[in-house]
Structure 1
C-alpha cells in the first residue's frame, strides 16, 4: 500500500461543495487557495477526494507524465459524448484516435475553413440591432454552430436543419448533466438522463444518414470536411473507424467547437467594452490589415476568462510522486486553470486585462492552459483560435463597438462552462464598409496559433 501524502482541505460534504461550485463559480477556488496555499484537497461529487494543483512546476510535471502513469479521469465528458469520444478513450486507443483527428484541424485544411466562418459571421451580424443593448452570446452560439456544422459535414440540407435544432439543446443539457452522477435507476424519459439519451439517439440517427450519403459520394476524396476525412482515414493496421466511433468523435467536435468558442467570444465583447484603449487599437489594426494585437487579445481573454476552469487526471500506476505529494493508484488530480492564470509569479499584474503581454511572445503551454495540456490538450485549439480571430476581425471591421462604464459581468455557470452573466452585452453601430486591406487580409498565421 502506498502511503498518501496530500495537503489539507475542507471537510464539507461533496454535495455541498458541488452546489457551491455551480452556484458561485470562480469564488471557491481562490478562497481555498488563500486558506490552504497553492495545493489542497477537495471532496468532488464525481471523483471523491481529489488533489487540486495551481503550482506551475507541479502542473508541468503532471502534463509531462506519460499516460500509462497518469491518464484522463474515468468519470468525464465521455459519459455524455460516448465511449468512442476522445474524452472516454485512454492509452493506446486515445493515441491512435488522436492521430486520425489531428489532420483536419491543422495546416492548409484549417485555412480552408476561414471563408466558412466569415460567411456565417457576416450573415449573423446582419441581424444585430443598432442603438440598443443586447446579449451577444446567442449570436456567437449560432455563428460557431453553423461554422462547425459546415466544417464537419461540408454542406447543408435537411439533416443540417435537424442538427441545428437538436445540438444547442443537447449540448446545454449534457453540459449540466456531465457534472452529476448517473443514477442507478433508469426512469426513462421521466428523468434528466433519460431525456438526454433520447436526444443522443436522435443525433445518432441523423449522423448515420449523413455517413450513408457521404459513403455514396463519388467525389468523397475531393471534400475537405471532417466527416469525409474520417471516412477515408485508416489506423496503422489499415482498418477503418466504426460508424459509432465516428458519431462519438463528431459529437465531441461539434460540442467542443461550439459552446466554448462562442462563450469566449462573448467574454471578448465583455472585456473590450471595458477597455476602450485596447478596443481603439484593435479597430486601427483591423483597418490597417494587421492581426498581431487581435491574436494577443484572444490569448488574454482566454487567460483572464477561461470558459472551463478544471483539467482532470487520474493516477494509473501503483503510485505517483508529484512534486511535494505522493498519490496512490486511482487518486484524482484537478488542475485549476484560473488559479494558474492568476498566479503573479507566472503572469505579473495577473488581474489586469493586458493583451500586450502576448504581443511578440507566444504563451508557455504549461502555464497558459485554456485548452488543457499534455497528451490530452484539445486538438481543436488551433481551429478555435482561428475562428475567434475571424469573428472578431469581421465584427470590428463592420461595427463600432461602444465602450461602457458598467462593472464587469459576473460569471454564470452553465454546467461545464462559465459564461458572462448578461451574455456579453453589446451596443453597436454599423461602420461604413472599409475598402482597405482589412477586407482582403486573412489571418494566414492562424494555423500556427496554439
Structure 2
C-alpha cells in the first residue's frame, strides 16, 4: 500500500537479514515482496546500498530510456568490481563506458557473429562426442565446459597451452561461488579467512595469467591479422590505446559473463525439454529441419521461465520522481527481470514452459529483457542466442532426453546467477535411426 513516505515501502528487517534473503533466496523472496508491497519495493542490502526493485514495465522503460548521466549502470554493478575490475564495460559509465563499448562491439556483431558459427559447431560436436548415453549426468557442468571453450576461442583465438589450461581450471573456481562468498569480495578482513582467502588467491593468479597472455600477444608477429578479441583490442587505431589493466578488466568480464549465463540458459532449456515431451518433439523436428527460429524460441523461453540474472541495476546520480515516489540520489533502481517474466499480465500461464509464445509476434516489447535494456543492453546477446541455437540443433539431431529424477530441480543462487539446484540432471538417448536417414539423404 502507498504510504506518506516519499520513499517506496519495504521490509523493516535488519540489513544483514535483507542481504541474505535477497542474495541467497531472492527467487522465493521477491514474490513475497511483490505481494506485500507491489511493483516498487525498497530494500537495504550490503555493501551499503539502498535499492528499489521495480516490477512495472512502464517504469522500467523510463529507467532504460532515461539519461545515462542520471541512471548509472556501472555504479549499479559495483558488487562485481572486485572481480571484474573498475574499467570493466559493466562497471563504467558515460564516456568511459561508451569508449569501451565501441571497442568491443565489432567482435559481437554482423560478420564476426557469422564467423563464429563454424567454430561453435565444431566445439559443440566435440563436446557431444564425449557424452555417454543412458546414464544420468549434470548437463549444467557440461554446458559450462562447452561455453567456456567457446569464449576462450573468441577472446584469445586459441584454446591450447599450459597457461590457458590453468586459466580454464581457475575460472571454474571463480564462477563456482555462492551468494555469501560475495561478502568476501568487499571485506579485506574476510579475505584473510578460509574460503574467502582461497577465492582471493585464485583471483590474483587469474590476473597473473591474463597479464602474461597480454604481454605475449603484444609481441606476436601476426598480431595485425588476428581476429580474436584480445588482438582486436591491441590493434585499435588511434592515440588512446587500452592499458594492460584496462585490457585485463575487459578480458575477465568477457570470460566470466560471456559463458556462464549462456551455459545456465542451456541447462535450464534441457531441464525443461527433458520433462516436456511435446516441446521436446517440436525441438527435435526443428533440429532436423534446421528451424533456427524455433530453437531460438526454446532458449528465450528458458530465459523467461528461469531468469539467469534476477535484475539489472542503475544507480541514481540525482533525485528523481518515480512511480509517485521520490527516489534520492545514491539509491540503486533494480528493474526486476524475475518479476516481469513471472507476471501473468505479460506472459499467460507464466509457470508453463512454452517456446511457442516467442513465435509470431512474441511477447510485448519490454516484457522480456534477460539481456537488460537501453544503451546498456548486453553486447553479447546475439552471440549468446547463436550459441544456444547451434547447441540445441546439434544436440537434438543426436539425442532424445529424459529427466534423471521425478521432481523438477529447485532454483539455487550462485554468486549473482540463478542456476539449477542439482546441475540439471538429465539422461540422453541415442537417435540412431534418424542419424542414419540423414546420412543417406546427405549422400543422395
Fold match by TM threshold 0.5: yes
Mapping for residues 88-167 of structure 1, pairs under 5 Å: 88-155=91-158, 156-167=160-171
Over the aligned positions, Cα root-mean-square deviation in angstroms equals 2.3
Equivalent in the alignment of 1:348: 348
TM superposition shift of 1:247: 0.9
Structure 1 residues 320, 53: closer, same or farther in 2, change over 3 A? same
Rounded to whole Å, the distance in 2 between the matches of 1:187 and 1:22 is 19
SS of aligned partner of 2:201: helix
Equivalent in the alignment of 1:11: 12
Indicate conservation of the 8 Å contact 1:263/1:307, yes or no: yes
SS of aligned partner of 2:313: strand
Rounded to whole Å, the distance in 2 between the matches of 1:93 and 1:210 is 24
Query: Could you report, residue by residue, the CA deviation over 1:375-411 in whole angstroms, capped at 9, with x for unpaired residues?
Result: 2221111111111111111111111213678232110
Query: Could you report, residue by residue, the CA deviation over 1:95-118 in whole angstroms, capped at 9, with x for unpaired residues?
Result: 111111111011111122222222
TM superposition shift of 1:187: 5.4
SS of aligned partner of 2:176: helix
Equivalent in the alignment of 2:240: 239
Indicate conservation of the 8 Å contact 1:344/1:350, yes or no: yes
TM superposition shift of 1:265: 1.0
Equivalent in the alignment of 1:387: 387
Indicate conservation of the 8 Å contact 1:400/1:429, yes or no: yes
Rounded to whole Å, the distance in 2 between the matches of 1:35 and 1:42 is 13
Instruction: Give 1:171's match in structure 2, choosing from 169, 175, 186.
Output: 175
TM superposition shift of 1:191: 5.2
Rounded to whole Å, the distance in 1 between the matches of 2:48 and 2:306 is 25
Please, which moves more after superposition, 125-134 or 268-277? 125-134
Equivalent in the alignment of 2:215: 212
Q: Which runs of 5+ in 2 are unaligned?
A: none
TM superposition shift of 1:134: 1.5
Query: Could you report, residue by residue, the CA deviation over 1:221-246 in whole angstroms, capped at 9, with x for unpaired residues?
Result: 22221111111124xx6311111111
Indicate conservation of the 8 Å contact 1:62/1:322, yes or no: no
Mapping for residues 400-419 of structure 1, pairs under 5 Å: 400-402=400-402, 406-419=406-419
TM superposition shift of 1:193: 4.5
Rounded to whole Å, the distance in 2 between the matches of 1:180 and 1:332 is 21
Indicate conservation of the 8 Å contact 1:270/1:424, yes or no: yes
**Would you say 1:87 and 2:90 are equivalent positions?**
yes
Rounded to whole Å, the distance in 2 between the matches of 1:92 and 1:327 is 25
Indicate conservation of the 8 Å contact 2:44/2:50, yes or no: yes
Equivalent in the alignment of 1:271: 272
Equivalent in the alignment of 1:249: 250
Structure 1 residues 153, 365: closer, same or farther in 2, change over 3 A? farther
Structure 1 residues 21, 331: closer, same or farther in 2, change over 3 A? closer
Higher helix proportion, which one? Answer: 2
SS of aligned partner of 1:419: strand
Indicate conservation of the 8 Å contact 1:402/1:428, yes or no: yes
Query: Could you report, residue by residue, the CA deviation over 1:7-58 in whole angstroms, capped at 9, with x for unpaired residues?
Result: 2111011211222334434111001111111112122222433211100000
**Would you say 1:195 and 2:198 are equivalent positions?**
yes
Equivalent in the alignment of 1:304: 305
**Aligned residue-pair number:** 433
Q: Which runs of 5+ in 1 are unaligned?
A: 441-450
**Would you say 1:360 and 2:348 are equivalent positions?**
no
Structure 1 residues 184, 149: closer, same or farther in 2, change over 3 A? closer
Please, which moves more after superposition, 44-53 or 225-234? 44-53
Rounded to whole Å, the distance in 1 between the matches of 2:403 and 2:191 is 50
Rounded to whole Å, the distance in 1 between the matches of 2:436 and 2:246 is 45
Rounded to whole Å, the distance in 1 between the matches of 2:91 and 2:179 is 15
Equivalent in the alignment of 1:422: 422
Rounded to whole Å, the distance in 1 between the matches of 2:5 and 2:60 is 18
SS of aligned partner of 2:135: coil
TM superposition shift of 1:264: 1.2
